Amino acid sequence: GIVRNQNICEPEQLAKVLAETKIKQTVVIRADKVVPHSRVLDVLSACAAAGIWDISFATYQEEPKK
């Protein structure tokens, strides 16, 4: 699923919630190498359908293995 405000939802739910929200939003996508590319596209599509274009991608650096 997709996590939104610490709640898991499906892409269809995300699109509906984003479309119903009337305030300007920023979406931050954080995904690692195990997240299928199609899930990221689902989020991008939901944002586009809701007219949200302020989208950022967040990354984190893994701790080096000792």
Count of CB atoms within 10 A of residue 47's CB? 19
Q: Could you read off the pLDDT of 13-45 as tens digits, one per residue?
A: 888 888 887 777 788 888 888 888 988 899 899
Q: Which residues contact 44 (CB under 8 A, 6 or more apart)?
A: 29, 55
pTM of this structure: 0.74
pLDDT above 80: residue 57: yes
pLDDT of residue 14: 80
pLDDT above 70: residue 5: no
With a pLDDT cut of 70, the percent of the chain lying above it is 89
